Amino acid sequence: MGIVAACAVPHPPLIIPEVGKGQEKGIARTIESYKEVMRRIAAARPQTVVVITPHTDIYADYMHISPGKSATGSFARFGAPQVQLSASYDEEFVGCVEKLCRENQIQAGTLGEQHAELDHATLIPLYFLNQFLTDYQVVRVGISNLSLLEHYSLGQLLERASTQLTRRVAIIASGDLSHKLKADGPYGFSAAGPEFDERVMQALGSADFLDLLRFEPQLCQKAAECGHRPFVMLAGALDRRQVSAERLSYEGPFGVGYGVVSFTLGDPDEKRNFAERYLEEVNAEHQKRVSRADPYTALAIATIEQYVREGSVPPLPDRLPSELTEKQAAVFVSIKKFGNLRGCIGTLRPVTASIAEEIQRNAVLACSKDPRFNAVGAGELTYLEVSVDVLTLPEPVDGLDKLDPKRYGVIVSSGGRSGVLLPDLEGVDSVEQQIAICRQKGGIGPQEPVSLQRFEVIRHH
């Protein structure tokens, strides 16, 4: 048995006639495609339907799987409380997945449920599926802020559970595309919106799931999407299987992208091991970064690697440039993993005898003591991107007109509290954004008076 059918679908509430009240006619192709793909799912006679939803309980570091025997939900929040659905959960399947997650150290399971009712991203696929099939059980799986690879890995475990239990399983990845397709849409327009939708539909429509893993976090954020991680988890569930994809429809008349794609599964295919192929790309890129790193970044990388592996700080290399050993400066060391921040620690004024020592000190702290993250593990080292920012001494400024988010970092202080932000950060395009972020970081209220300082950096990648 195992996975017998799969699809990717959107979840616009107005697609339900009692909610849309005529507006659903504007996405008639989506409705027809929805019916067709659910007819295909039903024809595969699944015993269990796994719905991957971005609108159940979401945690930064844990993918939630709904517990219990059953759940209900309605479209009350969308003005149609009379439209209700119930789902009987496959508890045996959920238990099997939880066990596999523990064995494989995947951060997922049934802990921490806060919203037991079915969310609309689950209700809408079931609403259409129930027109063709009623005798099935449901597993509801959420997403998190964990890496794309971890979502892919959970998808692989969903497939393994289906095989172990000899269960006929269908996978439904419920996710809208960009919410920023039109200037007059509810979320406005961003050029990232159409770009994101085109790439996702190309990847899904060609079953080239490798590209789903290559997406930059900044593109997803700017596109304001909610389907990427469900689609990646779906890809993981289809790992090493021949897949024939059919793009049934794509529409975006209301400023949000709605795509429907059907997947027909074939024999095992070891060449479709997309996670492994992606990691090979990452490893190759890591080697390139290390080979072209300047002395500042190379020192930070070497310090992090030895500290994580051995718990010690390496001696300073003999042939460091004199500016690293003879000058003092404040330094920030930043670590990213798969494009997401993994650690960042720095000083605003030098606290060691040289820039080199400052780099080593903050590299150790960034990989082990950043309170926002667990310490970096040895298995992560290949996937890290390290940068070093060398700061000028902060200087006071008397107005926002003296700031520039691309050129200057900023320190916002009030009553012994302060927040700091480096310059030229992705997604921070205005002084007002800089100040707001610094206030939040420093626990400073939006109306409290503040003093401002600015500084410049030389960034080493």
Whether 182 and 263 share a structural domain: yes
User: Of 348, 372, 389, which closes a domain?
Assistant: 389
**Length of the chain in terms of residues written:** 461
**What pLDDT score was predicted for residue 187?**
93
Strands 48-52, 137-141: pairing kind: parallel
Alpha helices in 417-461 (DSSP H): 431-442
Tally of domains within the chain: 3
Whether 340 and 327 share a structural domain: yes
68 in a structural domain: yes
61 in a structural domain: yes
pLDDT tens column, 80-104: 999 999 999 999 999 999 999 999 9
Place of tokens 């327009």: 189
**What pLDDT score was predicted for residue 444?**
94
Whether 297 and 160 share a structural domain: no
User: Of 389, 422, 451, which closes a domain?
Assistant: 389
Whether 226 and 238 share a structural domain: yes
Q: What is the CATH number of the domain that holds 308?
A: 3.30.700.20
pTM exceeding 0.75:
yes
**What pLDDT score was predicted for residue 1?**
77
Q: Is residue 40 within 8 Å of 33, Cβ to Cβ?
A: no
Whether 374 and 401 share a structural domain: no
Whether 384 and 397 share a structural domain: no
Distance between CA atoms of residues 213 and 96, nearest Å: 26
Whether 88 and 168 share a structural domain: yes
Q: Is residue 385 within 8 Å of 402, Cβ to Cβ?
A: no
Q: How many CB atoms lie under 10 A from the CB of residue 396?
A: 11
Whether 381 and 401 share a structural domain: no
Q: What is the CATH number of the domain that holds 186?
A: 3.40.830.10
Whether 171 and 188 share a structural domain: yes
Q: Beta partners for 292?
A: none
Q: Where are the beta strands (DSSP E) in 118-257?
A: 137-141, 168-174, 241-251
Whether 16 and 42 share a structural domain: yes
286 in a structural domain: no
Distance between CA atoms of residues 132 and 341, nearest Å: 45
112 in a structural domain: yes
**What pLDDT score was predicted for residue 426?**
80
Q: How many CB atoms lie under 10 A from the CB of residue 145?
A: 14
Q: Is residue 49 within 8 Å of 172, Cβ to Cβ?
A: yes
DSSP collapsed to 3 states, 8-66 = EECCCHHHCHHHHCCHHHHHHHHHHHHHHHHHHHHHCCCCEEEEECCCCCEECCCEEEC
∠ CA 146-152-158 to the nearest 5 degrees? Answer: 115
pLDDT tens column, 307-322: 999 999 999 998 899 9
Q: Beta partners for 53?
A: none
User: Of 389, 421, 439, which closes a domain?
Assistant: 389
6 in a structural domain: yes
Give DSSP secondary structure letters for 356-375. HHHHHHHHHHHHHT-TTSPP
Whether 264 and 409 share a structural domain: no
Distance between CA atoms of residues 399 and 406, nearest Å: 17
Q: What φ, ψ does residue 370 adopt, rounded to 5°?
A: -65, 120
**What pLDDT score was predicted for residue 338?**
86
Q: What is the CATH number of the domain that holds 423?
A: 3.30.1490.150
Residues 6+ apart with CB under 8 A from 84: 72, 73, 74, 75
282 in a structural domain: no
The list of the chain residues with pLDDT below 70 reads none
Q: How many CB atoms lie under 10 A from the CB of residue 349?
A: 10
Place of tokens 């929040």: 77
Q: Is residue 73 within 8 Å of 118, Cβ to Cβ?
A: yes
Domain that holds residue 422: 392-461
Place of tokens 């390290």: 386
427 in a structural domain: yes
Q: Greatest CA span in the chain, whole angstroms? A: 75
279 in a structural domain: no
Whether 257 and 316 share a structural domain: no
Q: What is the DSSP letter of 190?
A: -
